Structures are given as C-alpha cells and as structure tokens.
Amino acid sequence: MAYKNLQQFIDLLQKEGELIQINEYVSPSLEIAEITDRISKTVGGGKALLFNNTGYSFPVLMNAYGSERRMCLALGVENLDDVAKEIESLLQMLSAPKENILDKLKMLPKLGQFASWMPKVIAGKGACQEVILKGTSADITKLPVITCWPKDGGPFVTLPVIHTKDPLTGSRNVGMYRMQVFGPQLTGMHWHKHKVSAKHFNEYKKLGKKMPVAVALGGDPVYAYSATAPLPENVDEYC
C-alpha cells in the first residue's frame, strides 16, 4: 500500500498543491455536492476539496480522485497506463494455455511478483479499531453523509468499500455501491442485479440466512480503486 491511511494521502495532496481547504460552513445537504460538481467540471478536474466545517465532528473530502494526476498519486505510479498494463499482463498470464514445462517455468517470476501482492493476514486489531466508543450505539447519522441532488431520497454514502463473501465458496468480493441512510443503524444498499455482491445476497436468501457485510470508509486510496476495478468475478480485488 502506498499510504497507511487517508490522512497521509490528504497531507500529500496539500503538499503537492492539489487540495483546497474550505473552512467556511458548507452544508452536507446539497451544498457540498453542488460546489464539488462545479469544481470537478473545470479544466483538468479542478482540485480536491476538504470541507472542514460541516456542522458535524468530521470533515468531508471531495473530488480526491477527480484528476489523472491525483489518481497517479493515489496509486503510487507515474502513469495510469502502468496499472492497466499490469492488470492486463496478469490476466493474460492466468488465461494463457500452459502446453509444456517451459511454459510453466516462464510463469515463475510473474507468480513470485503476484504472490507479493497478496494481502497478508495480521493477528490483532487494525488501526480502525484503536478508537472505540464504549457504551454508545453505532449511529451513522453522526457522519456528514451528503445529499447530492434535490430529488434524491435522502443522504447517500457515495464512496463506501463494501466487503461480502459467497456463503458457498467463502470467496470475497470488494465492491462500491451507494448506501442510502434511513436511520442511525439502517441503510439501503444500491447494487444492480448483475453485481457480485447481489449474487452473494441471493445465495444467502436461498439459504435463509442474514448476509454479513463489512463497510470501510477512508483508508488507503487504493481500496477505492480496488472496489471499482473491472476484474473477473473469481479475482480478489485486493490482489
């Protein structure tokens, strides 16, 4: 990973002149989205915007990945084509027929590189669990979740990294689907029928079981990229 957390990425955007901090109060209901919409449509995608005064205890970062330069910074590459070429090379390697022992031996260096990408399981608690609010119930309405458009049904979490598992195979999917906030502990998940997480949901439904879902907000920017990467269903996005 290029960054330990989202704050490190924000600090780099500030250093690189890619961030505008807004300290005046701006409402998460329509106002933040309207300003971001105008800025993102300027030449080059505009700057990333950090709204520090939202009326909540949390700021809101917008347009963080709205330009090619910021995407390169997020992924730690000089050119976005580098990422595409890496993914294409990997998929070609996995799909190519292996006719003899020499073909298989040629794969070893690439497989070694591929193995180094695999996520590692580390014992103990993650940094996201360093601060735990004891004696209180989870309440998503304490976050400045934005309402984007006047006719939206309400506020939506627009950049969540959503983790689900197939109940039959245990394979993981990482996706990104808008989450409509209905209450302190209730959201609606907006996924299309052809999405992998929707498939997982249908499998749980057939089994008569509730589907566990883990949602991450923030983190290394590469998480957001992984959740939206156009990969085959059987490829783990975190690889």
Residue 184, burial from CB neighbour count under 10 angstroms (0-12, 13-18, 19+): exposed
Q: What is the pLDDT of residues 56-100, one digit of tens each?
A: 999 999 999 999 999 999 988 888 887 677 767 766 766 666 566
Res 103: pLDDT: 60
1 or 84, greater pLDDT: 84
Please check the confidence at residue 46 and state whether its pLDDT lies above 80: yes
> Contact at 8 Å (CB) between 180 and 188?
yes
pLDDT in tens, 184-215: 999 999 888 889 999 999 999 999 999 999 99
Across all residues in the chain, what is the average pLDDT? 86
**Sequence-ordered strand ranges (E) for 191-236:** 214-216
Residues in the chain: 239
Distance of alpha carbon 226 from alpha carbon 5, whole angstroms: 15
Phi-psi domain of 46 (left: phi exceeds 0; alpha: psi -120 through 50; beta: other): left
The predicted pLDDT at position 99 comes to: 63
Q: Is the dihedral of CA 76, 77, 80, 82 positive or negative?
A: negative
Pairing of strands 48-51, 19-22: parallel
Residue 48 has pLDDT above 70, yes or no: yes
Can you give the pTM of this predicted structure? 0.81
What pLDDT sits at residue 118?
A: 59
Residue 225: the pLDDT is: 87
pLDDT digits (tens, 9 = 90+) for 99-139: 666 666 566 566 666 555 556 667 777 777 777 666 668 89
pLDDT tens digit sequence for 143-163: 999 999 999 999 999 999 999
